[in-house]
Amino acid sequence: MTDTHKNVLIYGVLLPGLAGLCFLALFAGAVPVAVGEMLESSVIRLRLARVVLAVFAGAGLSVAGVIFQALLRNPLAEPYVLGVSSGAGLGAAIAIVLGLGTLGAWTLPGMAFAGALCTIILVYMLARTPGGAVPVQTLLLSGVVTSAVLGSLLMFLVSVSPSDQLHSVVWWLLGNLQIFDRSLLRMVMAIVTAGLATTLLFSRDLNLMTLGEDPAAHLGLKVEQSKKLFFVVASLMTGGAVAACGLIGFVGLIVPHIVRLVIGPNHRHLVPASALTGAAFLVLADGFARTIIAPLEIPVGVVTAMAGGPFFLVLLRRRKTTYWR
C-alpha cells in the first residue's frame, strides 16, 4: 500500500467514519428520547460530552499502546496488561477518596499520571536483567503481578471508602464515560492532544526503536532520552484517560494490531490511524454498552474487556510469529 493510499484510508475513510459514529452516538441511549425533546433539554449536552470523552480517551489509550509496543518491541504490551492502567487507577482513586478533586481539575489527571509513570518504571525495572535486557516473558509476568497487587490496593481503598463515595468509586473502576466535570474533560482533551502531537512529531524515533536499542543508537538516536520521553507521553495519556473514565482495558492492544495489519508498521501512518480507530472503537463500545440491555447500562470497561480478552489469548498463542516484518 502506497503512502497516498494510506493517507486516503486514514483521512478519507477513518475520519468521516468517526464523525458518522459520533453523530449516531448522540441519539443512542438507555432510554429513548425524542429528537426535539433532546435538543431542548440538557440530554444533548451530556451525550455530546460523553462522545467527546470517548473520542479522546480511545485515541489516547490506542496511541499509548502503540508507544509501549514500539518501545518494548512486544506485541502484547499495552497499558492495561502492563499494569499502567491499574497504577493510574490507584492514583486517581486515592485522589477521589481523599477528596483532592476540590483542589482543581488537574488533581485527578495529575495523580493518575503519577501512578501510571511509577508503575511502568517499576515493571520495567523488575523485568530488566543485570545485563540490561528486558525479556518478554519477564516483562509480561512483572506487569501481571504488579497489576494484581495494585488491583488489591484498589479493592482495599474501595472497602474503606465512605459509603457516600463507594458507588462512585466502584462505578468509575469498571469504566464509565459519564462526565459531569467539564474542566476535567478539557484537561483530558489537552493532555491527549499534546501527547498525540508529540508522538507524531517523533514518529521516526518510534520506527527506529522497533529495530532494537543498539541498531537505533547506531543510526543516531539518543535511545535513553527517547525512551524517557515516550514513557512519559504514554503514561500521561493513560493517566488522563483513566482519571476521566476509569479502567478501560485492551483498547491499546486491539486497535494497534488491527491497524498495523492494514497499513503496516510505519508510525508516521500508524499513529494517526490508531488514534482515529481507537476513538471510533470506544465510541462504538460505549454505544453498545448503553443500548444492548436497555434501559440498564453496563460499564464500557466490561465491553472492551469482553472483546480484548479473547484477542489477547489469540496473540499469546501466536507469540512466535513476528509482528514487525
Per-residue pLDDT averaged across 191-208, rounded? 94
In this structure, is residue 141 part of a structural domain? yes
In this structure, is residue 11 part of a structural domain? no
Supply the pLDDT for residue 101. Answer: 64
In this structure, is residue 322 part of a structural domain? no
DSSP string, 158-207: HHHS-HHHHHHHHHHHT-------HHHHHHHHHHHHHHHHHHHHTHHHHH
- CA-nearest of 189, 186, 195, 179 to 237 is 195
In this structure, is residue 33 part of a structural domain? no
> Is the pLDDT confidence value at 74 over 60?
yes
Q: Which of 123-127, 180-184, 204-208, 211-215 has the lowest mean pLDDT?
A: 180-184
> Is the pLDDT confidence value at 323 over 50?
no
Supply the pLDDT for residue 324. Answer: 43
Q: What digits encode the pLDDT tens for the residues 264-322?
A: 889 999 999 999 999 999 999 998 888 888 777 888 888 888 887 777 677 666 655 44
Structural domain that includes position 307: 44-316
CB-CB contact of 291 with 47 (8 Å): no
Q: What digits encode the pLDDT tens for the residues 19-30?
A: 999 988 888 766
Find which of 20-29, 35-44, 55-64, 85-94 is predicted with most confidence, using mean pLDDT. 55-64
Supply the pLDDT for residue 212. Answer: 82
In this structure, is residue 9 part of a structural domain? no
Task: Report how many domains make up the chain.
Answer: 1
Burial class (CB in 10 A: 0-12, 13-18, 19+), 316: exposed
Cα–Cα distance measured from residue 322 to residue 325, given in angstroms and rounded to the nearest whole number: 7
More confident: 202 or 109:
202
In this structure, is residue 86 part of a structural domain? yes
Supply the pLDDT for residue 1. Answer: 66
Supply the pLDDT for residue 293. Answer: 82
Q: What digits encode the pLDDT tens for the residues 45-68?
A: 888 899 999 999 999 999 999 998
More confident: 194 or 37:
194
Cα–Cα distance measured from residue 306 to residue 289, given in angstroms and rounded to the nearest whole number: 12
Q: What digits encode the pLDDT tens for the residues 127-175?
A: 877 776 666 567 778 888 888 898 888 888 878 777 666 666 676 677 7
Burial class (CB in 10 A: 0-12, 13-18, 19+), 92: buried
Q: What digits encode the pLDDT tens for the residues 209-261?
A: 888 878 888 888 888 888 888 988 988 898 888 888 888 888 988 899 889 88
In this structure, is residue 189 part of a structural domain? yes
In this structure, is residue 14 part of a structural domain? no
Per-residue pLDDT averaged across 87-95, rounded? 83
Cα–Cα distance measured from residue 77 to residue 284, given in angstroms and rounded to the nearest whole number: 23
> Is the pLDDT confidence value at 179 over 90?
no
CATH number of 149's domain: 1.10.3470.10
